[in-house]
């Protein structure tokens, strides 16, 4: 029902800074037990897991389908630096800051926080990319930077692997 209502209003909403993920997160919060308690689903439900995976796939593929491949290949230096230098540095500095803020977490947990906070949310960049006043070069840079969520996933897998090694070393040591 919510998807149908969003479909009816999506054209008007597309001219604003409000994105589909914002609307669906707000609706989920409103309908959850913490909100109006209209829906009570277990987070371990396979239905919820499948629905979340489907939503992620649709979001990533719809964003990727809008990329101008020729422009992306032409303007490879700046986006490449964003992905290969900026993203790893953001992960490392995020982990360092997390370690200082949360004294009793392990290094792996601090690293996972750094990984989770590093990717740019596609919803934030979408308003800029859809603006006709923004140059093609800047759009290409932003689109390639939005790909960094795909780099964050393997990074999180690596950090989780180290977290499962049963190390007792904490970030405060």
Domain extent for 108: 68-163
Q: What does the pLDDT read at residue 147?
A: 62
Of 70, 74, 61, the residue nearest 147 (C-alpha): 61
pLDDT in tens, the chain (173 residues): 777 888 888 888 877 878 777 888 888 888 888 788 877 777 667 877 777 777 767 766 666 666 666 766 676 676 677 777 888 888 899 999 999 998 888 888 888 888 887 765 555 566 666 667 777 776 666 666 666 666 666 777 777 777 777 555 555 55
Q: What does the pLDDT read at residue 100?
A: 93
Residue 45 lies in a domain: no
Say how many domains are in the chain: 1
Residue 140 lies in a domain: yes
Distance CA 122, CA 137 (A): 17
Q: What does the pLDDT read at residue 98?
A: 92
pTM of the predicted model, to two decimals? 0.50
Residue 50 lies in a domain: no
Residue 4 lies in a domain: no
Residue 134 lies in a domain: yes
Residue 89 lies in a domain: yes
Burial grade of 10 (CB within 10 A; 0-12, 13-18, 19 or more): exposed
């Amino acid at each position: 029902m919510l998807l149908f209502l969003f479909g009816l209003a999506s054209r008007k909403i597309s001219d604003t800074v409000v994105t589909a993920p914002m609307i669906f997160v707000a609706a989920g919060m409103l309908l959850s037990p913490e909100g109006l308690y209209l829906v009570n689903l277990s987070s371990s439900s396979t239905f919820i897991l499948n629905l979340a995976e489907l939503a992620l796939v649709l979001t990533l593929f719809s964003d990727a389908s809008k990329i101008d491949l020729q422009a992306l290949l032409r303007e490879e230096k700046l986006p490449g630096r964003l992905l290969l230098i900026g993203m790893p540095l953001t992960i490392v500095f995020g982990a360092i800051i997390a370690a200082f803020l949360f004294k009793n977490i392990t290094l792996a947990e601090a690293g996972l926080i750094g990984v989770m906070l590093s990717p740019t949310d596609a919803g934030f960049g979408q308003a800029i990319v859809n603006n006709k006043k923004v140059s093609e070069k800047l759009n290409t840079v932003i689109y390639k930077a939005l790909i960094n969520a795909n780099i964050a996933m393997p990074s999180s897998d690596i950090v989780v692997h180290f977290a499962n090694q049963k190390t007792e070393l904490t970030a405060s040591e």
